[in-house]
Amino acid sequence: MKGRIGFVYVATDPDYTAMALESIRSLRRFWKGPIALFTDQNLTGQHLDVDGVIVRRVPPAPGLASREIKLRLSSITPFEHSIYLDADTQVVAPVDELVALASRCTFAAALDIERDARKQLRRPGDAEELAITLRETSGVPFYNGGVIAFDKRKARPLFIRWLREWRRFRTFDQPALQRTLAATGIRPTTVPVLFNVLFPWYGQRTGGVVIVHLFRSTNLRQYNGFLSDARLALSHPLLAPVGLLRAYARFFLHALQRRLS
């Protein structure tokens, strides 16, 4: 099935596939058009309770290897114009403006809250990639890869270079995107931040939010916790501080548990 415009997801383990299905359910409240899900999970009718979803099986790609599938989307998406959403997103308002942007742009993404790759590439084994990325990308904006819109044909050269850059180190896709932009001189159309609100760090932006990105979720349990916090924060302005405080407490508790384990 091919269409002019649609939303696409990539999810390659049980937890992230469950998150993607939850995101798709939220999207379906505001978007009646086609949605494609690329997954390595064998989904049955009881799992896929949302109409109009095209499911494409992909080879198993655990962890960061799933980026390879994401960066091949310009070749495998069934749509002329695609809007990619990370599995850990929730759509909370109409997406008409984002769809309109996707129909006319070559490649679009929202700026990240960070200015460069330092916080992503902070493991001991990331030192070489970080040094190269900082050296090659001076003055190039750092975009978040959680919500992107692209033209399948026009954006293909960017995706080809992006995939090549990612394969140099096979870690995160955002530093690879920044190096790609530096090498090619391409400048994406900037997606308004309300279409990619990184929760809880952008949590103070509770008015006009369209897509919440629960980007600190690394498993389904964390995702469900942050989702509960985000829903509380967005339910009423007076409850926003409570939801945000809960989310910050949850994040720092997870960080402490990782340090102690």
Joined together, the tokens standing for residue 214 give 């629960």
- Name, in order, each residue with C-beta under 8 angstroms of 166's C-beta and a sequence gap of 6 or more: 67, 68, 71, 173, 176
Average pLDDT over residues 58-86: 93
Question: How many Å apart are CA 183 and CA 165, to the nearest integer?
Answer: 10
- pLDDT classification of 48: cutoffs 50, 70, 90: low
Share of residues in the chain with pLDDT > 70 (%): 94
User: What pLDDT is stored for residue 206 in this prediction?
Assistant: 58
Among residues of the chain, what percentage have pLDDT more than 90? 76
Average pLDDT of the residues in 58-78: 91
pLDDT, position 1: 41
On the question of pLDDT at 23 being above 50, the answer is yes
Per residue in 158-173, pLDDT (tens digit) is: 999 999 999 999 999 9
Q: Which of the listed ranges 111-120, 231-240, 251-260 does the model predict with the highest average pLDDT? A: 111-120
Domains recognised in the chain with CATH numbers = 3-193 (3.90.550.10), 195-260 (no CATH)
- pLDDT at residue 226 greater than cutoff 60: yes
- pLDDT tens digit sequence for 100-152: 999 999 999 999 999 999 999 998 899 999 999 999 999 999 999 999 999 99
The answer, yes or no, to whether residue 46 has pLDDT greater than 60, is: no
- The confidence score (pLDDT) of residue 140 equals 97
Q: What pLDDT does residue 28 have? A: 95
Residue 172 and residue 259: Cα distance in Å, rounded? 21
Mean pLDDT of 21-30: 95
**Angle (CA) 207 201 190, round 5°:** 70
Which tops the pLDDT comparison, 190 or 215?
190
pLDDT of residue 237: 85
pTM of the model: 0.93
What's the confidence (pLDDT) of residue 256?
Answer: 85
The least confident of 18-22, 115-119, 199-203, 234-238 is 199-203
The DSSP bridge pattern shows strands 143-151 and 211-213 to be unpaired
As a whole number, mean pLDDT of residues 240-246 equals 91
Residue 149 CB partners (closer than 8 Å, separation 6+): 81, 82, 83, 84, 98, 101, 102, 105, 107, 108, 109, 189, 191
Split at pLDDT 50, 70, 90, the class of 47 is low
pLDDT of 258 over the 90 cut: no
